[in-house]
Amino acid sequence: MGNGMNRVLPGLYVGNFRDAKDSNQLKTNRITHILSIHDNAKKLRDDIEYKCIQASDNPNQDLTQYFSECIDFIHVARINGGNVLVHCLAGVSRSVTVTAAYMMTVTDYGWKDCLNAVRGARSYSNPNFGFQKQLQTYCAEKVTMERERIKSTFEPVPFNDNEEMRYLLDAFQKFVLYGDPNRDDGLYSLPHKAYKERPKGISIDSSSEEDGGSHSAKQEGASQNNQSSTTQESYTRISVTQEVKENQDILKQNQGCEEPDEDSVNENQKSEEPEDEDIVNQNKDLSHISNN
C-alpha cells in the first residue's frame, strides 16, 4: 500500500504513469516487463520489454479485446522469472481492470474477488462501471476457456496464486471495508445481462415505459374493439348478401312464370268491350243529356 507501484502477486505490480518512469522504483522492484495501457502508450526505455495498448479510460472502451494478449505477456514474464509492471495514467482503472482479468484467469476466483484483491494491495483501485461490467462478462462467458488455454499452452507459474489471493482479500476486509462484513464494496451490483440490448433503430417512448401495463391494456382494448368492429361488419355484409340473393331468387321466380298468349289477351279485351252497338249508343245519349 502507499504511494508508488504496488505488488499484487509475485512478479506482478500495478502502478501509474509516473511509476513507469521512476528508475528507482523500477530497479528496486526489478521490473523486467512493462504493460502500458493508456491513450498514448509507448515504449520509454530500451532495457525493459514493453507491451503497449492504446485504450482510453471510457466505459464504452472495449478492454476485453486485449485481455488474451495482455494475459500472455504477463504470464510469460512471470514463468521466466521476470517482474511485470501494469500501468495506465493514474493506476486506478485500466491497469487494474487488466490485472484483475489476469488474476481471474490464473486463479479460481471470480471477477469481484479479483478486483477486491487488487484493492487489498492498492486501496484506491476503482475501475469505471463499464470496465467492471466487462470483467463480469469475461468471468461469465470466457474465463473458463482462457483458463484451459493457459494451462495447455504454458507451464504453470511457480507460485501459489490462490493462496496469495486469500491474503489480499483479508487485507481488503481490514483496510478497505474496515472489518465490517456488511459494508458495501461499491462494485457493479447488477447480474450478468441484466439489461438486454435493444435493436438499433427502435425507439421506445418514455411515457409508454412509465405507463407500463396500462399502455398494454389500452392496446389490447383497441385490438378487441377492432376485432368486434370487423366481426359486425362481416355480419352486415352477410345479411346484405343474403337479402340480395333472396331478391334475385324472387325475380327469377317471377321471370320464370308463363306469360299469357295473344289469344287470351284478345279474349279478355273482347270480354271487356260492350256486346252490341245499341248499348253504346244509349250510353252516348245519356252522357249528352247529362251535359245539357
Looking at 70, 88, 114, 139, which residue is catalytic?
88
- Is the torsion defined by CA of 96, 97, 100, 102 positive or negative? negative
Whether 114 is catalytic is no
Cβ density class 78-112: b for 16+ within 10 Å, e for less: beeebbbbbbbbbbbbbbbbbbbbbbbbbbebebb
User: Does residue 55 contact residue 37 with C-beta atoms inside 8 Å?
Assistant: yes
DSSP letter, residue 200: T
Distance CA(176)–CA(183), nearest Å, equals: 10
Distance CA(263)–CA(266), nearest Å, equals: 5
Name the residue among 175, 163, 160 with its Cα closest to residue 119: 175
Catalytic residue numbers read 88
